[in-house]
Each structure stands twice: as structure tokens, then as C-alpha cells.
Amino acid sequence: MVFRQLFDPQSSTYTYLLADPASRAAVLIDPVFEQVRRDAALVEELGLKLAWTLETHVHADHVTGAWLLREKLGSRIALSKASGAEGADIFLTPHQKIPFGKRHLEALATPGHTNGCMTYVLDDKSMAFTGDALLIRGCGRTDFQQGDARTLFRSVRSRIFSLPDDCLVCPGHDYRGLTQTSVGEEKRFNPRLAESIGEGDFLGYMQHLGLAHPKQMAIAVPANLKCGRPEKTTSLDPDWAALTYTFAGIWEVQPHWLEENLRTVQIVDVREPGEFNGPLGHVAGAKLMPLGSLTDRIGELEKATPIVTVCRSGARSAQATLMLGKAGFEKVANLSGGMLRWRAQRFPVDGGVD
């Protein structure tokens, strides 16, 4: 099984990537709109085909990336019928199975935080994705949307706590940086929902949380009821070149694109002079600005003209794109694979030896 736990620092949301290694079919649980580029890059770098995005519920603290991922990768959107959302490909009912390759998740209805909350349980019951129904030593709040503490108590105790004790619990959020827990652990140590705690105690606890509403709520809930479809569908990605975005957070262009667009960009070669004039040669028109001098010499570059950074392998020049981005340059990309790939694909150079 391919398994990754991804984090959105803005909303403290966990997104989970699961994939069947044989067929490469993948599922993303609770993707975040602002992280779609990152998540799509990871799916592509791992050679996966995103079959589904699943929502554990209609979130109040972030907008889902489901709609945008469907646009980008052709994934299908699934969430519970009881969520009241529109625009999904499938509206799940309790115990429905969501297949990906040879594996599947089963949707359990675990309402209480909202009406439409679902917990997704892996086929072998080794993992459960509980959304905000059960958090690590906590649980989701029950004081807005269709929250109901009594319902949440019964969902957790009857549906989640009936899973095997060693079933890993992967929550929708954590605000302290904790990552996973297990059913057995929460049965013993959850301060609100442990088996030793009665329903009345839980109701009292939940009535007195005294939390402010999430800042994003007025935007997030209506957007999530449409599966994250934005009001205006403007392109969010820069389009000055045939850009790809890496999971490492770098915009890149391929050698063939640079070759066709040599005259429209500033080429910044961040290697040392000995390399620039060495056997690999350099791209015609490239400006030599070794990485160590880039910050001091940044004034030599024009802001309006796009920049492509180059080095031997594409590592130092990736760092250069980040430095230029911080300095306010908006159109910056790394030459993927650097001079090594440029030469391997037989593009022309100034200087150098064959």
C-alpha cells in the first residue's frame, strides 16, 4: 500500500493519499484547495492515477480541493449523501465501498460533528480515516453546522470503537502536530470519549468548550457544499510557460520549452565560472551569476521578463528560483535536469566539448 499523510499548516488539516501499488489507483481523503498543486505533483511523481477524492464531511475551516483535482486529474468526487452537498460524482450511503485497484475503503456513517460525517475504513480494518468525528485525544466540535454531541458520542462509541483496537486512527486535524493514534489507545485515553466516560459527562464537556467559530467558516461551508468549485474559475497556475510543479515546491520548464523560447526569457546560470566555461558548456545567451552572488547581483535582472535558472543538475538552480521568488520575481522557473539533461537531449551549447 502506498500511504502518505500530508499537512496543511493554515488549517492544520491532514490529507491522506492511499494507493494500490499494483494498479497505481489512488484516493485522496480531504484534500485542501490551496494544496492541490502539491498533491497533484505528488500523485504524478509517484506514478499514480487519482481515482477518487473523498470528503469526511463538509468542512468549516478550509475549502476542499476536490473540484480542482477533478479538473486537473480527472478524479471523481465522493462524499456522503447526508452532507447536503451538490456537484459530487457519487453520494455515499452507509457501508458503501469505494474501490481503488484491488483495495477499497468502506464508508461508515459517523454523524455528530456534522450530519454528513463519514469515517472511511480500509478493507483490512488496519486504518480508519475519522475526519473530525474522532481526533487524537479529542473530537470535533458539535456547536455549529448540524452538530449534536449525543449523536457524536454514539457514532464514536458504536461505530469507531467497534473497530479492532490496533486499527490506526488517522484524524482530519491535529493542532499539536500529533499524527496518528489507534482505536485501542483512544478507548483508554481519550479525555472526552474513553470507554470509562458516560454520555452525560461527554455532553457536559462539549457544552463548555467555548471555542470561537473558524475564521474561514463563512467562505468554506458554502464552497464545500459545491465540492470546492470556485465562484470564478480563473486559472490559479502561472501560464507564461509550459510549467510543471514539483512536490518539492519548484516550478520547472523542460529543455525543449527553453530551446523554443530562448529569446523571450532571461537565462540565469548559477554555476561557478569554471563550470560555465567547462566541458558541459552553457545555454546561448545565459547570464553567469553564481548562486553565492545571486542575492548581491539581483538588481541586474529585469522583473518584467521571465527568468529560467540553470545549473549542472537542476539542484542549485531550484534553490535560485526560491531566492528570486522571495526577492519579488514572479515569473521564475528552473530548467528541469539542468545542463546534464540539456546535453543528454542534444540541445546546442556555447563552449563545451562533445
DSSP, res 251: E
Q: Map residues 5-44 to x or -, x wherever contact with Fe ion holds by CB under 5 A.
A: ----------------------------------------
CB of 230 to Fe ion, least distance (A): 20
**Residue number with CB closer to Fe ion (37 or 59):** 59
What binding mask, one character per residue, do residues 291-330 give for Fe ion by CB under 5 A, x or -? Answer: ----------------------------------------
Site map (CB under 5 A) of Fe ion, residues 116-145, x = contact: ----------------x-------------
Output 106 or 132, the one with its CB closest to Fe ion. 132
Q: 287-288 and 266-269 as β-strands: parallel, antiparallel, unpaired?
A: parallel
How many chain residues are in contact with Fe ion, going by CB under 5 A? 2
Smaller CB separation from Fe ion, 14 or 202: 14
Residue nearer to Fe ion on the CB measure, 57 or 70: 57
**24 touches 101 (CB < 8 A):** yes
Q: Look at residue 95 and give its three-state secondary structure.
A: coil
Sheet holding 90-92, edge to edge: 2-8, 13-19, 25-29, 49-54, 76-80, 90-92
Residue nearest Fe ion, Cβ-based: 132
CA angle (38, 40, 43) in 5-degree steps:
110
The CA distance from 170 to 116, in Å, is 18
Between 137 and 316, whose beta carbon lies closer to Fe ion?
A: 137
Sheet holding 251-253, edge to edge: 244-245, 251-253, 332-335, 307-310, 266-269, 287-288
Least distance to Fe ion, CB of residue 57, Å: 6
Residue 59 or residue 137: which is nearer to Fe ion going by CB? 59
Nearby residues of 35 by Cβ (< 8 Å), 6 or more positions away: 6, 8, 15, 65
**Which span sits near Fe ion by CB under 5 A: 57-65, 121-129, 197-205, 214-222?**
57-65
* DSSP summary character for residue 83: G
DSSP-derived pairing of the beta strands 13-19 and 2-8: antiparallel
In whole angstroms, what is the distance from residue 26 CA to residue 49 CA? 6
Joined grid coordinates for residue 257:
520549452
Nearer to Fe ion (CB atom), residue 11 or residue 246: 11
Strands 118-122, 90-92: pairing kind: unpaired
Shortest Å, Cβ 60 to Fe ion: 6
Q: How far is the CB of 145 from Fe ion (least distance, A)?
A: 8
- List the grid coordinates of 199: 454520555
For the bound state, the minimum distance from the C-beta of residue 113 to Fe ion, rounded and expressed in Å, comes to 6
In the complex, minimum distance from the CB of residue 214 to Fe ion, in angstroms, rounded to a whole number: 8
Q: How far is the CB of 140 from Fe ion (least distance, A)?
A: 5
> In this structure, what C-alpha cell is assigned to residue 131?
475526519
Q: Identify which range of 52-60, 64-72, 183-191, 256-264 contacts Fe ion by CB under 5 A.
A: 52-60
Rounded to the nearest whole angstrom, what is the least distance from the CB of residue 108 to Fe ion in the complex?
17
Sole window of 39-47, 59-67, 70-78, 312-320 interacting with Fe ion (rule: CB under 5 A): 59-67
In angstroms, the Cα distances linking 17 to 90, 111, 306 are: 19, 23, 34
Residue 54 vs 291, nearer CB to Fe ion: 54
Q: What are phi and psi of 83, to 5 degrees?
A: -70, -25
Which positions lie near Fe ion, rule CB under 5 A?
A: 59, 132
